[in-house]
Amino acid sequence: MSKITIIGGGSVHWMPTIVRDLAVTPGLSRSHIVLEDIEPQHLDCTLPMARRILSEAGTGCTLEATTDQRAALDGADYVILTISTGGLDAMRHDLEIPEKYGLFQSVGDTVGPGGISRALRNIPVVVGIARDMEQLCPDAWLLNYTNPLSALCRCVTRTTGIRVIGLCHEIHGCFRLLRDIFNVETNDRFDWRVAGVNHLIFLLDLRLDGRDAFPRLRRFMREHPLFDRSAVPPTSPHFPLQDRAGPQFELSKAFGALPASGDRHVAEFFPDLLTDETDRGRKYGIELTRIAHRQALRREAFARVARLASGEEPIDLQPSEELAARLIAAFETGRQCTDVMNLPNTGQIANLPADAIVETRATVKAGAVTPEPVGELPLAIRALLAHHIRVQEMTVEAALTGDRRLALEAFLLDPLARTAEAQERMFDELLDANHHHLPQFFGAAEPLVEKARAALSAKD
């Protein structure tokens, strides 16, 4: 029996999917699932739902819930991370303060001032979890869904010996688009190679039935300009093309490779896409994240979980495209699993820095994780990614050491940055608004800072 601990087990966004996948995945029927959350009222909501899922699935999995993080981690074999330090209240500052300075963010959780601010809050918390794992379950795998995914995986590998894999589902949206374009039903007919950093990955090669599919894809791009409604198949089996085919196409022409994350994530890496001149992204079909919308989605998610728990809504036992359960099953049973994963760069991308967290295909087989070699990236893509990796490294170190100047420099180097003077005012305002979650910058977390400096020195 494997112990699978979910940190953030009160998440109404992630729990229905993760628990269902664990319940229906072959090889995991004797798992012990632990839901851990700092908010007991959230566990009061997700625990009954999880019980009903396990009952409907007829699995032998057992279940418990706790607010005691160390007890949840003790003896765990796998730890799934789905947290958001400060929640939507903190995210409001990430979005609304930069907007006062003319900086617009379509998501605000990976790059831009919102992504860096979110990293500064989450990094000390995630490192604390990883350090607890070193004491209580040192051989466990940490499977991270929390954003900013690259920076959080990097802070774990930078300061601890815990093995971490970052999981992201953006590639699946890209292949839904490609299946629509090529009118195929499954991904099995494609061979492909992808590389990048989380939320900025590039499809470098694409073959359909053994033949290079990029000429056909480029022809489609030429024949169907952005948001041309005539490009949408009237009976598309997945979803309308215009919902996914925005800046991806334009950027593909420039870089010779297709950005394989959704437009709303990709746009934040290219500041010209989110300006007043583009109507803040609407020209490309992009809507900015609004906290009111997130709050409405959250309320509906809580209501849906309650309906699932009560039996008012039927349980869907079809597995999702998420990777966590399939990865765990591969480790547990020895079956092979190949998918996109975020891992330290051990050579899979030859011309990016070693140990940076990069996203490529990888295979789990016989208990080992083997990234797929990509070789060297084209120079323009390499330069773009290397810049973001440098900013991530600076952000991680600033978050751990409380180095205010280094954190500001990370803000200044972000592509969305404007003038240095405005950027510094915005930075100070963001730190002040989030001060409850950023004690390392206000002289209130010296033990953490000292431990971080020692860990960084040891790693160097």
Q: Is 169 a catalytic residue?
A: yes
263 pLDDT band, cuts 50/70/90, is: confident
Give the predicted TM-score (pTM) of the model. 0.93
Q: How far is CA 25 from CA 212, 232, 234, 378, in A?
A: 34, 35, 35, 39
pLDDT number for residue 165: 98
| Confidence check: pLDDT of 19 > 50 | yes
Tokens matching residue 288 = 């900015």
Among candidate residues 13, 32, 93, 169, the one labeled active-site is 169
> Tens of pLDDT along 196-229?
999 999 999 999 999 999 999 988 887 776 544 3
User: Are 340 and 360 in contact, with CB atoms under 8 Å apart?
Assistant: yes
Q: What is the pLDDT of residues 51-70, one digit of tens each?
A: 999 999 999 999 999 999 99
Handedness of CA 156, 158, 160, 162 (dihedral sign): positive
Which position has the higher pLDDT, 177 or 432? 432
Helices 112-136 and 87-100: crossing angle, nearest 10°? 150
* Phi–psi pair at 254, nearest 5 degrees: -75, -40
Q: Chain-centre distance of CA 181, in angstroms?
A: 26
Please give the sequence-ordered ranges of beta strands (E in DSSP) within 258-356, or none if there are none: 258-259, 337-344
Question: Mean pLDDT, to the nearest integer, of 12-30?
Answer: 96
| Under 8 Å between Cβ of 165 and 341 | yes
Of residues 258 and 246, more confidently modeled: 258
Nearest Cα neighbor of 165 from 1, 339, 312, 336 is 339
Evaluate whether 404 touches 440 at the Cβ level (below 8 Å). Answer: no
Give the bridge partners for 208, in sequence order.
190, 211
**CA distance readout (Å), 442 to 63, 399, 409, 431:** 40, 12, 18, 9
Q: Give the residue-averaged pLDDT of 18-32.
A: 96
User: In this predicted structure, which of 10-24, 137-151, 172-186, 385-399 has the lowest mean pLDDT?
Assistant: 172-186
Across 240-244, 252-256, 271-275, 281-285, least confident range: 240-244
pLDDT the model gives residue 237: 40
- Residue 445 pLDDT greater than 90, yes or no: no
Decide if pLDDT at 243 tops 70. no
Alpha helices of 363-403 — where are they, by DSSP H? 379-401
**What is the model's pLDDT at position 446?**
55
Sign of CA dihedral 72, 74, 75, 76: positive
Alpha-carbon distance of 109 to 122, in angstroms, equals 11
pLDDT for position 450: 54
pLDDT value of position 443: 81
Residue 420 — pLDDT band, cuts 50, 70, 90?
confident
The identity of residue 426, as a single letter, is: M
Quick one: pLDDT at residue 437? 95
Is residue 241 scored above 50 in pLDDT?
A: no
The mean per-residue pLDDT over the stretch 45-53 comes to 97
Average pLDDT over residues 156-170: 97
Per the listing, tokens 């989110």 go with 274
69-85 average pLDDT score: 98
Question: Is pLDDT at 457 greater than 60 in this prediction?
Answer: no
**Residue range 31-36: average pLDDT?**
98
**Numbers of helices and strands, H then E, in the chain:** 16, 13
Supply the DSSP string of 234-255, one letter for each residue.
TT-SS--GGGT-SHHHHHHHHH
For residue 148, the 8-state DSSP code is: S
What local confidence, expressed as pLDDT, does residue 278 receive? 86
Q: Residue 399 pLDDT > 90, yes or no?
A: yes
pLDDT in tens, 353-373: 999 999 999 999 988 999 999
Give per-residue pLDDT as tens, 93-118: 999 999 999 999 999 999 999 999 99
Helix axis angle for 247-255 and 214-223, nearest 10°, is 130
Nearest to 452 by CA among 223, 106, 120: 120
Residue 142: beta bridge partners? Answer: 79, 164
pLDDT of residue 223: 77
Whole-angstrom CA distances from 456 to 145, 280, 389, 411, 451 are 24, 39, 17, 21, 9
Confidence of residue 239 (pLDDT cuts 50, 70, 90): very low
Bridge partner residues of 206 (DSSP): 192
Residue in the block written with tokens 């925005």: 246
